[in-house]
Structure 1
């Protein structure tokens, strides 16, 4: 293959999986790589920094790795693409047909397949030729050390396998372990499903692109495309239409486990929780119909903000549920032990301060080693909680807040004890209705703690969030 052929194939693969062609800089990087150029040389020719070229290249190798299901890097890029040329995937784009605004795979007796892909398992015969196990988990993080979440796993397995929960949200603040929990869950229940697909919404793909991409997975797994009727509408086996969302037909025809991670990224920043970005409202339609239509599949949403559809439809006797993930408690001591910290008598205090958040504990334990010679006692003796790298971690969720949410967070951070919301603090300049909406939104973002006392509920912030808010936001005039 010459340089132009390789570039054309790379562009085709990226377009099929993302709906976007290579941009000029990506093409320059690939061309330079094929010609044996160093990143510094490519940077000089494109008049930018070498660091910028490395960042773009790293993202590009990651994208191509996800597309091909195996590692792609600067040294093996050409070889990987040449392997693809002589596989069925080279003709993959020939198996795509257009129906409306959505691409589908044509029915073929032999579905295209990525060579040597670790995420595409061989079909397992369950006594039915259509019942093939296919797992597409390239975007699922590898399961490393898993800290005690036995009760949560038991609950989730019961909801999904025994109670046929169709729509499920796993929620919690950054670092709490949502993705790790679901990855562990998938390993334990994946053999119960015909298809298992994990996709990240971190890049905010439009639903049309995500839907096309997922349907391609079904096609690669041998699933035939549901045919439209004379009016061009796809009707499910039970006679129901799916509101122009053909993905739902697959969820009804097969038993599927579909996981969407980083769901908060399709919501707008600077607004209350649950407001979709412009032209992303069709995600809400998808979530609602997945919860309402009859099928044996399960859609799991992972995020830091509860979708409004979940909030409106969930219930104990409903096939729509949510699990609010809390800290590890005493099990967080395992993280402290791994980091080599002694002073066992101080572990519980440290865990409580950082609310048993696995990632927070890892970060603070590293800080204690670096700055306090491993002494938890000395660290806790500081007058103020030290945030360190936690501050950068918390910037992401806090940058998504509306101005009214920032005001209320500042008020909560200034209070020394949990507060009632029976009346609005005068100087917040919010109506009663606005104030309640903000409190509800902060709860859906997992940023406030609720403390029941008798028939009343009080609200507060955990110590880390209080310190972050005091450091980064000026207190309103109250």
Structure 2
């Protein structure tokens, strides 16, 4: 299915709804969305303002959503059209009768699905439980940089190796959710049902299970039992019968602050058994957890020969330079110095780039003239939010590391006399799980920005 086929079919859909064919700007938006371009790139190519292009795009996605009966956005346009596989329809069939999802489109008027449905003989009718999607909570795609190797690894795991549970973890702002959204575009066709949920507002495990069951069992309208174990048994039946992908974002929201990494908030311990059962009970589905830190009970179950995989997402390499180019910053010879200083964290780099643009007229070299490097209120607030999660012994260990000139061993840290061996080892293990520290063999270190910030604790 190529872009010309997509444009041709989209034109038919828009004409069906509005009586008008695609104009040049709408074609450019569709072409750009298909090719993964940002609105700013489309605006440059069409000599329009970015705001005008976004407004036109919003109206176009609304039209397509109404005709197709599902939420169409720039972020999911390509994946949706590939899933619906419009290239199988002949041109004459488009004009005479089109069946899509729950709508039959004939002439200019969309009709409900109780009208006799016509499909090409080669296309099988999916069951009610297949090809179901609930992606309302998926964030819009942001500019995405690099990550080809990470995407390839995760795709291989989830499509070929088929683990039951994958934990994608890393420091706040490192790009976990953006990577997962990109991954979703590539793998969702390998699953019968796909649902994305955020745990940002800390729903109980019972609320989450009920919500998932209502999606997976729809439209069967079954009466859910009151007993938690009975309800969970029905959920696992669904995971066995169909290949489902469940993405749970912001898992750190159900984990405790000011304790060692991976402990649950009071009242949320039930998630521990839920995640373990996802990993241990037989089914054909996959649950992807996105979190700042992995729940501690999953660490022992992780491995290439187990149904759990853990992916620690680290900072961007040279691809991060595009963040500075997009901001129009000067001094390309300083780009890599800044990337290394901030550990390749995309969020930190974006905040830093905005500050350079505001205070130093876009010249990174001028910022590095000051020691220590000025971080600014915005970045300091982000770092403080992460540090607020640390336990007391982690803060002591972090401060001790920050005051070392480089990589140090456990014995070097013990020599400072700040913590007992047990507390130090617990703190280092927890800080590593929270992605604060880097380890090379038996030596530990901090990224420069965390070393600078750690001295203030």
TM-score calculated relative to the size of structure 1: 0.67
From 410, 421, 424, the counterpart of 2:410 = 421
- Equivalent of residue 277 in structure 1, options 235, 258, 265: 265
Report how far residue 216 of structure 1 moved: 1.4
CA distance in 2, matches of 1:428, 1:217: 55
Q: Give the Cα–Cα distance (whole angstroms) in 2 for the partners of residues 371 and 274 of structure 1.
A: 39
Q: Which runs of 5+ in 2 are unaligned?
A: 1-67, 81-100, 104-122
Runs of 5+ unmatched residues, structure 1: 1-114, 235-241, 474-478
Q: Distance in 1 between matches of 2:235 and 2:384?
A: 35
Query: How much does 1:423 deviate?
Result: 6.2
Aligned CA distance change for structure 1 residues 381 and 214 (closer, same or farther; 3 Å): same
The 3-state SS of whatever aligns with 1:407 is helix
CA deviation digits over 1:46-97, x for unaligned, max 9? Answer: xxxxxxxxxxxxxxxxxxxxxxxxxxxxxxxxxxxxxxxxxxxxxxxxxxxx
1:192 aligns with 2:190: yes
After superposition, what is the alpha-carbon deviation per residue over 1:329-382, rounded to whole angstroms, capped at 9, x for unaligned?
100111110000121111111111111111111111111111111111111111
CA distance in 2, matches of 1:227, 1:265: 27
1:258 aligned counterpart, secondary structure: strand
Match of 1:157 in 2: 155
Which residue of 2 is the match for residue 135 of structure 1?
133
* Distance of 1:116 and 1:403 partners within structure 2: 52
Contact 1:413–1:470 (8 Å) recurs in 2: yes
1:332 and 2:336 are equivalent in the alignment: no
Question: Structure 1: how far apart are the matches of 2:353 and 2:155?
Answer: 32
Cα-Cα RMSD: 2.5
How far apart are residue 224 of structure 1 and its match? Answer: 6.8
Would you say the 8 A contact 1:130–1:223 is kept in 2? Answer: no
Distance 1:233 1:177, change over 3 A: closer
Question: 1:439 matched to which residue of 2?
Answer: 428
2:95 equivalent in structure 1: none
Cα distance in 1 for partners of 2:431, 2:304 equals 23
Query: 2:213–2:235: 8 Å Cα contact kept in structure 1?
Result: yes
> What count of residue pairs does the alignment treat as equivalent?
343
| Aligned-partner SS, 1:274 | coil
Q: Is the 8 A contact 2:342 2:349 kept in 1?
A: yes
Does 2:170 match 1:181? no
Q: In structure 2, how many angstroms separate the alpha carbons of the residues matched to 1:180 and 1:381?
A: 33
For residue 309 of structure 1, report the CA deviation from its aligned partner: 2.9
CA contact (8 A) 2:194 2:245 kept: yes
Given candidates 360, 364, 369, the residue that maps to 2:357 is 369
User: After TM superposition, which residue ranges in structure 1, 4 or more long, deviate above 4 angstroms?
Assistant: 123-128, 223-228, 231-234, 426-429
Distance 1:351 1:223, change over 3 A: farther
Aligned to 1:315: 303
Provide the C-alpha distance between the structure 2 equivalents of 1:311 and 1:232, rounded to a whole number of angstroms: 26
What corresponds to 1:106 in structure 2? none
Q: 1:233 to 1:356 in 2, by over 3 A?
A: closer
Which residue in 1 is equivalent to 2:96? none
Q: 1:130, CA displacement in angstroms?
A: 4.3
* 1:18-33 alignment runs, 5 A limit: none
Query: Which residue pairs with 1:360 in the alignment?
Result: 348
> Which residue does the alignment assign to 1:462?
447
SS at match of 2:260: coil
Q: Residues 314 and 232 (structure 1 numbering): CA distance in 2 closer, same or farther, change over 3 Å?
A: closer
Other structure's SS at 1:270 match:
coil
For 1:20-419, list aligned pairs within 5 A. 118=71, 122=101, 127-220=125-218, 222=219, 225=222, 234=230, 244=232, 246-388=234-376, 389-419=378-408
- CA–CA distance in structure 2, aligned partners of residues 312 and 406 of structure 1: 25
CA distance in 2, matches of 1:429, 1:382: 31
Per-residue deviation, 1:184: 0.6
| Contact 1:263–1:303 (Cα < 8 Å) also in 2 | yes
Q: Name the CA distance, whole Å, in 2 between partners of 1:159 and 1:400.
A: 31
Identify the residue that residue 102 of structure 1 maps to in structure 2: none
